C-alpha cells in the first residue's frame, strides 16, 4: 500500500499543467480510450450523459468553451471575440472566418442562429433538454455572416457560461432546414475530428479533420472510444489496450491501475461538480410533511460519511447545494449552521427523533429507490440507510436498472418514496445546480414534485443579479430554505480521479467530466 501511495503521489506530482504546456506536441497517433456506457443517439441537444460527450464531442465545436488549464475561465471556440452590454441584455459574437463543416460548407452566423433556435424552441419532434437554459433569450439576430447577436428578456448571470456548454454543438443550418432531426442519426460538425464509424456495443472512431480551423490541430490522427466498463475496463487500462477513461475511477481502481503501470501512470484528481441528492416524493405521505423530511436530513452524518466513504467510493467532499470550493458555495462555517450539517450528530439525531414523533411516524419504514450502478450509488445508498436506521427507521434498498430508475422518478405520478438522484453539471453555476431544488413546474428534473414559490423567487433573483456579493447572499437564503424544507437534500459531493498512461498529453482534468473533451489539444508522446 505504501508503494502504491508513493507511486500515486509521484504521479500526481508529475502532472502539473505548466509542465505539460512546456512540451512540444507531436502529431499523429491513435488515441484509444474507454467509455463505460454508450450514447442512445447522436444529438447533442437531447443528451445529458458523459457516454455521449466523450465519443461525440470531438466532432463538434461550440460558440465558447472552457479553458481547461485555467478552469473556469472561458475562451472562444467558434466565436473569435464577444461583448456583453452593460445592462447584460445583449451578447454580440464575432465568428472566426474560414471555419468549415465536415462536408466542406462554410460556417456562418445562420448556423449559430439555427442551432440556438433549435435549442430554445424545438419543433418537429426535436428534443432539446436545454430549452429552459435559453428561456431568457428574446431574439437572435445575424447582422452579417460573421456576427450573431443574442438579445435577452432579462439579465442572466449564467448566460455567458451557458454559451460554453459542451452540449450546444453547432449544427449546419442547411442540414437542419432539410430535416430538423438530422443530428439524431448523423454526425456533421466543424469539430477537429470527422466521424469514421460507430459499431454499436463495441466502439466509436474519429479521424483528424484536415480542414480544421485551427492550423496544425488536432494533433492526433484519430481516436477510438471503446465501450467497456467495470473490471474489464480496469484490466484494459492496466494492459494498455486503452490509455485513459475520462469519467473517473474510485480509489481502489486508481490504486490497482497505478500498481500495474508503475511510473507509466499519471493520476489527476479534483473535486467534481457532481453530487448525489436524496429526493423525497412530496406527493406521497408522510413525505409531504416537512418535519419528516427534515428529520431524515438531520439523521445524516455527512462529515463522518465523507471520511469513511472516500476510502471506498468516488465521493469525498461535504457541501451544500453548490460544490464546496466554488466561489459562490457556502463556507464550512456557514454549512455548520444548516440542518444536517452539524458536527454534533447525536444532537441532530435527537432532534430528528422528536420531529418524527411529532409527525406521528416514529418507526417509519420506506423504500429508497436507487440506481443499479455500483459507483457511487450503492455505497452511498447503503450509507444513507445505515444513517436512517440509527434513528430507528427501517429502509428497504431498491436498486433498479438505469432506465427503470429514471422512469420511476420521471413518470407523471411517481410512486417512489425516496430516491437517490444525481446532480452533475458541466460547470459550477447556480442556475444549473439549483434546478433540482426548484418547483416541479419550473424544473421537470426536480422529481420531488413540490411547488415552492419562495425558492422560485429566490432563484430568479440570484439569476438576475450581476453583482457577485449580492448573488452570494441570495444564494445563502435559497440554500437555507432548501435545506430547511428538505424536498431534495444533498449528500456528499464527488471527487474525480483520472488515471492515464504517461504518453497522453495536452489533457487537463476539470471539475466536470463533460468539458475539455474535444481532444483538439491532446497528443501522444510516443
List interacting residues with other proteins (CB under 8 A): 40-41, 46-49, 125, 127-129, 131, 184-185, 199-203, 224, 226, 228, 231-232, 235-236, 238-242, 260, 401-404, 406-407, 410-411, 444-445, 447
Q: Using CB atoms within 10 Å of the CB of residue 268, give its burial: 0 to 12 exposed, 13 to 18 middle, 19+ buried.
A: buried
* Least distance from other proteins to the Cβ atom of residue 268, Å: 23
Nine-digit cell string for 128: 432539446
CB of 442 to other proteins, least distance (A): 12
Q: Which is nearer to other proteins, 229 or 270 (CB)?
A: 229
Choice between 391 and 434, CB closer to other proteins: 434
- Of 236 and 298, nearer to other proteins (C-beta) is 236
Q: How many CA atoms lie within 13 A of 291 on its CB side?
A: 12
Return the number of the residue (27 or 411) whose C-beta is nearest other proteins.
Answer: 411
User: Please, which residue, 145 or 260, has the CB nearer to other proteins?
Assistant: 260
Q: List the beta bridge partners of residue 399.
A: 370
Nearer to other proteins, 316 or 501 (CB): 501
C-alpha distances in Å from residue 153, one per residue of 137, 176, 328, 412, 464: 6, 26, 25, 31, 11
Name the DSSP class of 24: P
**Does residue 149 contact residue 143 with C-beta atoms inside 8 Å?**
yes
CB nearer other proteins, residue 143 or residue 232:
232
Q: What is the largest CA-CA distance in the chain?
A: 69
Please state whether beta strands 74-76 and 79-84 pair in parallel, antiparallel, or not at all (unpaired). unpaired
Residue that has been written with the C-alpha cell 442540414 in this structure: 175
Query: Apex CA 426: angle with CA 131 and CA 29, to 5°?
Result: 120
**In terms of CB distance, is 198 or 496 closer to other proteins?**
198
In the complex, the smallest distance separating the C-beta of residue 398 from other proteins, rounded to whole angstroms, is: 17
386-403 per-residue burial string, b: 16 or more CB within 10 A, e: under 16 = ebbebbebebeebbbeee
Report, in Å, the least distance between residue 264 CB and other proteins. Answer: 10
Decide: residue 423, CB within 10 A, 0-12 exposed, 13-18 middle, 19+ buried. Answer: buried
- Cell numbers 475562451 correspond to 75
Residue nearer to other proteins on the CB measure, 143 or 230 = 230
Which is nearer to other proteins, 74 or 234 (by Cβ)?
A: 234
Q: 327-358 burial by CB neighbour count: b if 16+ within 10 A, else e?
A: ebbbeeeebeebbbbbeebeebbebbbebbee
Nearer to other proteins among residue 46 and residue 361 (C-beta): 46
Tell me the sheet residues that pair with 228.
Answer: none
Q: Which of 501, 301, 424 minimizes the C-alpha distance to 49?
A: 424
Give just the sign of the alpha carbon dihedral 201, 198, 166, 14: positive
Cα(90)–Cα(151) distance, integer angstroms: 5
Least separation, in Å, of the C-beta of 369 and other proteins?
A: 14
Q: Which residues pair with 275 in a beta bridge?
A: 423, 493
Write out the three cell numbers for 361: 411516524
CA distance 269 to 249: 10
Of 48 and 92, which has the nearer Cβ to other proteins? 48
Q: What is the smallest separation between the CB atom of 309 and other proteins, expressed in angstroms?
A: 23
152 C-beta neighbours (distance < 10 Å), count: 20
Cα→Cα distances 144→25, 82, 149, Å: 36, 15, 10
Residue for cell digits 467558434?
Answer: 78
Residue among 203 and 508 whose Cβ is closer to other proteins:
203
CA dist., res. 315 & res. 240, Å (int): 27
Nearest Cα neighbor of 463 from 145, 157, 218 is 157
- Asked whether the beta carbons of 431 and 134 are under 8 A apart, the reply is no
Amino acid at each position: 500500500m505504501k508503494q502504491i501511495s508513493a507511486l500515486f503521489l509521484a504521479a500526481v506530482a508529475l502532472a502539473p499543467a505548466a509542465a505539460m504546456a512546456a512540451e512540444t506536441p507531436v502529431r499523429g497517433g491513435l488515441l484509444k480510450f474507454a467509455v463505460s456506457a454508450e450514447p442512445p443517439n447522436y444529438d447533442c441537444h437531447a443528451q445529458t450523459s458523459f457516454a455521449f460527450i466523450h465519443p461525440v464531442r470531438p466532432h463538434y465545436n461550440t460558440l465558447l468553451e472552457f479553458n481547461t488549464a485555467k478552469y473556469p475561465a472561458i475562451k472562444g471556440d467558434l466565436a473569435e471575440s464577444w461583448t456583453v452590454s452593460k445592462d447584460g441584455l445583449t451578447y454580440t459574437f464575432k465568428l472566426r472566418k474560414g471555419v468549415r463543416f465536415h462536408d466542406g460548407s462554410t460556417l456562418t452566423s445562420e448556423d449559430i442562429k439555427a442551432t440556438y433556435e433549435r435549442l430554445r424552441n424545438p419543433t418537429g419532434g426535436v428534443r432539446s433538454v436545454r430549452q429552459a437554459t435559453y428561456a431568457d433569450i428574446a431574439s437572435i439576430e445575424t447582422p452579417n455572416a460573421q456576427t450573431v447577436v443574442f438579445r435577452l428578456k432579462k439579465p442572466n448571470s449564467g448566460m455567458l457560461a451557458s454559451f460554453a456548454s459542451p452540449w450546444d454543438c453547432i449544427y449546419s443550418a442547411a442540414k437542419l432546414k432539410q430535416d430538423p432531426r438530422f443530428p439524431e442519426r448523423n454526425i456533421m460538425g466543424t469539430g477537429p475530428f470527422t466521424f469514421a464509424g460507430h459499431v454499436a456495443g463495441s466502439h466509436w472512431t474519429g479521424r483528424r479533420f484536415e480542414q480544421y480551423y485551427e492550423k496544425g490541430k488536432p494533433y492526433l490522427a484519430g481516436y477510438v472510444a471503446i465501450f467497456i466498463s467495470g473490471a474489464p475496463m480496469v484490466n484494459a487500462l492496466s494492459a494498455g489496450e486503452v490509455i485513459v477513461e475520462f469519467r473517473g475511477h474510485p480509489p481502489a481502481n486508481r490504486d490497482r491501475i497505478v500498481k500495474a503501470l508503475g511510473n507509466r501512470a499519471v493520476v489527476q484528481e479534483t473535486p467534481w461538480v457532481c453530487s448525489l441528492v436524496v429526493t423525497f416524493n412530496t406527493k406521497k405521505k408522510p413525505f409531504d410533511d416537512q418535519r419528516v423530511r427534515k428529520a431524515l436530513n438531520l439523521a445524516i452524518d455527512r462529515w463522518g460519511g465523507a471520511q469513511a466513504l472516500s476510502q471506498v467510493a468516488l465521493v469525498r467532499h461535504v457541501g451544500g447545494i453548490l460544490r464546496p470550493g466554488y466561489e459562490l458555495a457556502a463556507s464550512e462555517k456557514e454549512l455548520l449552521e444548516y440542518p444536517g450539517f452539524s458536527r454534533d450528530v447525536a444532537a441532530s439525531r435527537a432532534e430528528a427523533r422528536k420531529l418524527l414523533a411529532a409527525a406521528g411516524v416514529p418507526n417509519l419504514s420506506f423504500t429508497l429507490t436507487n440506481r443499479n450502478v455500483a459507483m457511487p450509488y450503492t455505497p452511498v445508498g447503503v450509507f444513507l440507510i445505515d444513517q436512517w436506521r440509527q434513528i430507528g427507521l427501517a429502509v428497504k434498498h431498491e436498486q433498479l436498472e438505469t432506465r427503470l430508475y429514471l422512469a420511476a422518478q420521471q413518470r407523471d405520478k411517481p410512486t417512489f418514496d425516496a430516491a437517490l438522484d444525481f446532480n452533475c453539471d458541466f460547470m459550477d453555476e447556480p442556475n444549473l445546480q439549483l434546478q433540482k431544488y426548484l418547483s416541479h413546474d419550473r424544473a421537470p428534473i426536480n422529481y420531488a414534485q413540490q411547488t415552492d414559490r419562495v425558492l422560485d423567487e429566490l432563484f430568479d433573483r440570484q439569476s438576475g443579479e450581476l453583482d457577485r456579493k449580492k448573488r452570494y447572499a441570495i444564494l445563502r437564503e435559497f440554500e437555507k430554505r432548501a435545506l430547511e424544507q428538505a424536498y431534495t437534500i444533498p449528500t456528499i459531493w464527488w471527487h474525480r480521479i483520472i488515471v492515464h498512461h504517461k504518453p497522453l498529453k495536452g489533457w487537463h482534468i476539470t471539475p466536470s467530466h463533460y468539458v475539455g473533451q474535444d481532444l483538439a489539444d491532446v497528443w501522444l508522446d510516443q
